[in-house]
Copies of this chain bind each other. A is one copy, B any other.
Amino acid sequence: MDWQREQRTGVPEAVFCEHKDIRQIEAIIGEAQAARKRLLLTRLAGPVLEGLSPSSRGVLDYDQVSRTAILGNALPAVASGIGIIAAGTSDAAVALEAARTLAFAGHSPDLIVDVGVAGLWRLTGKLDRIRSFRLIIAVAGMEGALFSVLAGLVTAPVIAVPTSVGYGVARGGTVALNAALASCAPGVVVVNIDNGYGAAAAAIKILGLGQPTTAA
């Protein structure tokens, strides 16, 4: 593990579990415990969690929807002005991965779900709350129209997280991704499909602007 990453880049180390087998994950948890380090695990599927030894499983705070696990104590949560806005309930898993990553780093985001643009008044009805955010993480699949609509309404930076929610041409999330990249609203920045963790990591870096860090 890259225990110095947080010092060097401002973002805490996390373990992406999707391509790792149970033995490898178990070893990493053990290593973190031995080094007395906190740890965030992402994309930890339910069956893989079940396959861990009870002692490993027991020390993890697991969230089923976002498939994230946290090892170690919670940090006191600070409301930093981050809003996470998801287009539909199907996007909740990705939105919560971002929320859990922020919480792991001590940020307490505000979460709004189900404001897709097909019912525009759901979005405009919450505009005052949305405009109060200092930074927005927008989460949407399908055609990803939410990104452009949001970015045209607020001064806060918008980090777009396209999701793989969709079918036909939208299967896998490429349409939402490209819609975010091609947005006619200037100032949208984008992360990989389903990458709630990456959006949160970027938000942490942005909010930490100007804060001195100890370079490795």
Contacts and interface: CB of A to CB of B under 8 A. Distances in A.
Given A121-B216, A179-B179, A202-B189, A168 B155 contact: no
Contact of A189 (B164, B179, B191, B207): B191
B157 A206 contact: yes
A184 B87 contact: yes
A11 B157 contact: no
A186 B14 contact: yes
A44 interface: no
A170 to B, nearest CB: 4
Interface stretch (A51-59, A68-76, A145-153): A145-153
Contacts of A83: none
Contacts of A206: 157, 206, 209
A166 B180 CA distance: 13
Contact of A90 (B8, B19, B190): B19
Interface string A19-48: 110001000000000000000000100000
A149 B120 contact: yes
Contacts of A2: 118-119, 122
Contacts of A187: 9-11, 198, 201-202, 204-205
A112 interface: no
B9 A154 contact: yes
A202 B178 CA distance: 17
A188 interface: yes
Nearest to A159: B189
Given A144-B179, A184-B145, A210 B134 contact: yes
Contacts of A173: 168
Interface of A: 2, 4-5, 8-11, 14, 16, 18-20, 24, 43, 81, 87-90, 116-122, 131, 134-135, 141-145, 147-149, 151-159, 164-195, 197-198, 201-202, 204-211, 213, 215-216
